[in-house]
A and B are shown apart, each in its own frame.
Chain A
């Protein structure tokens, strides 16, 4: 059993807006071990990105972290001073964002940006050493001719190359935990395959923990060992990838899996199964289960209380009063 690196307990993040208050993340708990990749999946607005920003304490007004604990190697990040948190952020926990164009500064060369990050976090290094390390990082992430690329600006690079730079930036300080928020969503499939392969290899090499946030179930199946499925701010199902893909218990998970077109189904031009309706507005959540209006198995009790996340088998948990019975897919 490897060591628990990050333990998120009952995390709640609230946004107060002119239209009212809503909880984007509501009572979310999970943990990440060293060398392990946890996937967080869900549709837009389910709270997956807010969860990661809360862990990094990057929630800005009007958002506030209302409660819960984020234990990183035993210490609660939510209780640290801003100064302490700044040392951890980027140094021990690093983040890779979705859009590599907007998360790099367009007026500095990519080399300067990596060098800056290194100098900021590793104060003992000289500028020359930092430069050397930056070039080494660019080489590790597979950028050809890194000495030359060092002096180029973000706009001179392709999307895939920019994402490699982002990864180089994120790993430049040897983080123990990597949070990747839709790292390949903006990329083409052949480039996505390259980047996923790179991330997998780097993780193995550095034995880091990783949280991978994505809406793509294919990416999850390939990269993660455990998966949290989020819906309207809550984790509705948690388990190993096999649990989630072969023995889903929650009707939302089942619906998500069914709505992706599969290869080799043979019955082409059939209707895809869909989840009817839309995600409820977080301002105006129904009483009881949040999935009730879209659920095929809804019953009266679903409309009265929110179903707790109950243990199924092993680490498998689902928040449903009427879970799907076991089936082998």
Chain B
């Protein structure tokens, strides 16, 4: 068994809320609570869940864009939870992120060429400007844009093209791991498919490892080897993608899958409609976080915090009722 590329142990992240006299900490948003998993090289782990479930926060913690409150993150066996300065910068070369909003994540005053050159300069990857230009040309070919695009500004591009620029920027420093944070949710369906195909092609070509964060379960199923479902800061279920979608165990996963409108008029008849909203992560319900909305909850669910247990081979779920 080789060392996993990324190993996460019991990671928790809370954001303090200050208020009152002297701005004392009055409460905290428990965005991510006690998450553990491993990712092998070349694998794609999908993270799904509704807004506010902590999937983006988790993604950012993993590549140290947020400092974790507790827990450990190991990259290739090395603990990177608290590294700083030069060491952290070295590490960042290996881990990159692609953001959701291709409109907000590119500096409108920089040309595409300089956007792509910036990471090369920061990480001091090439001595001469010419080598940098060669690398940029290579990148722009890789993501399917044209070289004459390099002198243009982000506003001159469509959403799909901008997302390609975002991908090229992430690839510039030759990373091993890329966190894709809702990379296609701002795009039209026909463009979405183009970008998904590009991401998968690049993964094969460059041997990349992805953490793919999205709320669209169909997209996640398509790209992921394994999928983790999050609810209010916790992983409630995790399995191989096919197993999870064919054979969901956790009532939340079941409801989530059944809530997706199917593009088929003969679709399914029965649908689990959850009542209520996702509770606030400031004051999550006791016991199982899902209990107030769960169709099969019993009294024990209000007191017992369900552990993430193996319910089938390589298939874990946190529910005492299944």
Contacts and interface: CB of A to CB of B under 8 A. Distances in A.
Interface stretch (A21-29, A105-113, A117-125, A269-277): A269-277
Contacts of A275: 190, 193
A190 B256 contact: yes
Interface stretch (A65-73, A191-199, A307-315): A191-199
A222 interface: yes
Contact of B189 (A43, A191, A276): A43
A222 B273 contact: no
Interface stretch (A171-179, A252-260, A297-305): A252-260
Nearest to B160: A278
Contacts of B192: 259
Interface string B269-280: 001011101100
Which residue of B50, B160, B188, B194 has the most chain A CB atoms within 10 A of its CB atom? B188
Given A197-B273, A263-B245, 16 more contacts: A43-B189, A158-B278, A188-B51, A189-B260, A190-B50, A191-B50, A192-B259, A194-B275, A222-B262, A245-B265, A246-B265, A256-B189, A261-B196, A263-B218, A269-B222, A278-B158
B277 A161 contact: yes
A222 B267 contact: yes
Contacts of A278: 158, 160, 191
A84 interface: no
Interface of A: 43-44, 158-161, 188-194, 196-197, 215-222, 241-242, 245-246, 255-257, 259-264, 268-269, 271-276, 278
B218 A262 contact: yes
A242 B267 CA distance: 11
Q: Is the interface of A mostly helix, strand, loop or mixed?
A: helix
Given A190-B274, A273-B193, A222 B261 contact: yes
Contacts, number: 120
Interface string B238-258: 000110011000000001101
B277 A263 contact: no
A275 B192 CA distance: 10
A197 B263 CA distance: 16
A222 B50 CA distance: 21
A220 B277 CA distance: 24
Interface in B184-219: 188-194, 196-197, 200, 215, 217-219
Interface in B253-304: 255-256, 258-265, 267, 271, 273-275, 277-278
Interface size class of B (residues with CB under 8 A): 35 or more
A188 B50 CA distance: 6
A299 B223 CA distance: 35
A256 B263 CA distance: 11
B248 to A, nearest CB: 12
A43 B190 CA distance: 8
A221 B261 contact: yes
B221 interface: yes
A197 B45 CA distance: 32
A189 B272 CA distance: 12
Given A221-B265, A255-B190, A260 B158 contact: no
A218 B263 contact: yes
B274 to A, nearest CB: 5
Contact of A158 (B194, B218, B273, B277): B277
Given A245-B264, A255-B190, A260-B263, A194 B219 contact: no
Nearest to A157: B277
A218 B260 contact: yes
Nearest to A272: B193
Contact of A218 (B190, B200, B262): B262
Contacts of A269: 200, 222-223
A183 to B, nearest CB: 13
B261 A196 contact: yes
